[in-house]
Amino acid sequence: MSTDKVFSEKITKKFEFDEAVASVFDDMLSRSVPLYDEVRKLSIALILAEQKEGKHVLDLGVSTAKFLLDLHSKMDVKMELKGIDNSQAMLDRAEQKCQAFGADIELQLADMLCYPYANEEVIIANYTLQFIRPMQRIELVKKLFDGLSEHGLFIFSEKVVFEESTLDKEIINIYYDYKKAQGYSEYEIAQKREALENVLIPFTIEENINMCKKAGFTQISTVFQWANFVTFVVRK
């Protein structure tokens, strides 16, 4: 796994999921998202608790397919695993990994805002919705609700903000200390913050819950939180 050095030099553009990011994405996730591996394991365990032959699992923003590959290695029955992403660089990495592991996972270059969701049984979105513009995000979640089968499951994790400004600033500083402990320099942290400005737009926990309610979901729970990182489990 290549080490993330994307922001060790001066940035010249906003953050995007290009080849430079794709080549180090697994390292970037493990060092930038607190307890990412545990969140992934928890989400997989929730899917496996209801696994059945032929069950459809769709990963939005599949990136390098790490989540689906882990799920594939642990499932006891053959479920239909599919991942979509709008970054060809990410999908190229995902395809290489799926071939290396001999994993039967369908990968598709697609825009999640336009994808024709239909009879989906499980939808996963790991730190993906936060990159969608707020109004489009709300419309997307409504499409997900409509595209899920009865009792379908939607699991998503997001970076969040807090309404109370003092707490929000304190949590951000705690998170930056976490990143420093993972080996990122203050310069890299500042560079990434600048690159992500107006690209990653987080909601509050309440805004995420209300978004799901407006889409039609009634069963909405949080099952994990580390400071400003939260995992939601939503059922149709």
Is the residue at 13 inside a domain?
Answer: no
CA distance 54 to 52: 6
Tokens of 143: 């499409």
Query: Coil, helix or strand for 207?
Result: helix
Residue 189 has pLDDT above 90, yes or no: no
Give the pLDDT score at 196: 66
Beta pairing class for 148-159 and 229-235: antiparallel
Give the pLDDT score at 5: 44
Give the pLDDT score at 85: 96
Q: Nearest Cα to 67, choosing from 138, 128, 115?
A: 128
Is the residue at 11 inside a domain?
Answer: no
Q: What phi, psi does 233 have (nearest 5°)? A: -120, 120
Band (pLDDT 50/70/90 cuts) for residue 40 is very high
Q: Which residues contact 163 (CB under 8 A, 6 or more apart)?
A: 204, 206
Is the residue at 10 inside a domain?
Answer: no
CA distance 148 to 161: 28
Is the residue at 206 inside a domain?
Answer: yes
Residue 139 has pLDDT above 80, yes or no: yes
Give the pLDDT score at 183: 83
CA distance 179 to 30: 10
Residue 55 belongs to domain with CATH number: 3.40.50.150
Is the residue at 47 inside a domain?
Answer: yes
Q: Nearest Cα to 25, choosing from 113, 85, 72?
A: 85
Residue 184 has pLDDT above 60, yes or no: yes
The number of folded domains in the chain is 1
Domain that holds residue 125: 19-235
Give the pLDDT score at 19: 58
> Which residues, in sequence order, are bridge partners of residue 56?
80
CA distance 211 to 207: 6
Is the residue at 90 inside a domain?
Answer: yes
**Share of residues in the chain with pLDDT > 70 (%):** 85
Element (H, E) at 191: helix 186-196
CA distance 180 to 48: 35
**1-32 pLDDT per residue, tens:** 544 444 445 555 554 555 555 555 577 777 88
Q: Which residues contact 99 (CB under 8 A, 6 or more apart)?
A: none
**143-162 pLDDT per residue, tens:** 999 999 999 999 999 999 99
pTM of the model: 0.89
Give the pLDDT score at 31: 80
> Which residues, in sequence order, are bridge partners of residue 122?
57, 153
Query: Coil, helix or strand for 27?
Result: helix
Q: For residue 144, what are the CA distances in angstroms to 26, 120, 136, 173?
A: 26, 8, 12, 34
Tell which wins on pLDDT, 178 or 25. 178
